[in-house]
Amino acid sequence: MKLPKWPEKSRATIYLLLIFLCGIAGGAVATNLWIRWGHDRDRNVAQAAPRQTRTQRTVERFTRDLTLEPEQAQQLTAILDETRQKYRAEEDATRREARNRVRAILNDEQRAIYEEIIAHADKRRRQQRGR
């Protein structure tokens, strides 16, 4: 049985449609893999155990990889906590300075809207920090 010969324009349309469908299928597979084993996994792990801080995870990893003694793990925890506090203090000071500079260039109406935006950002930051 001989198949009918399709016109060139119809064949080109079918090929384009097949390529498009393959792209959709490939994108769906890649997205699924990204969600299951990619960036969201780490975020979900952090959300699943919110009581375990980044410091605790770091100390556990170093304790395991470096076979730290309990006293060393406690000292490492203290060092990491102090360092985090210093970074946050510097970050907060830098943020305050930048916000004051932005406020200085805004008119009263813009400043009111800016304050709402800042309040929302601060609330979100406190939630992320677990305060």
pLDDT for residue 39: 58
Q: CA 3, 5, 10: angle at the middle one, nearest 5?
A: 125
Q: Quote the CA–CA distance of 71 and 51 in Å, as a whole number.
A: 22
Residue carrying structure tokens 């060092």:
79
**92 is written with which tokens?**
């907060």
103 with 111: CB under 8 angstroms?
Answer: yes
**24 is written with which tokens?**
């959709």
pTM, to two decimals = 0.48
**29 is written with which tokens?**
């597979």
Nearest to 47 by CA among 62, 58, 39: 39
pLDDT for residue 80: 92
pLDDT for residue 64: 92
What is the residue extent of each domain of the chain? 69-131
Mean pLDDT, consecutive 10-residue segments, the chain of 131 residues?
68 88 90 73 54 83 92 93 92 93 95 94 84 53
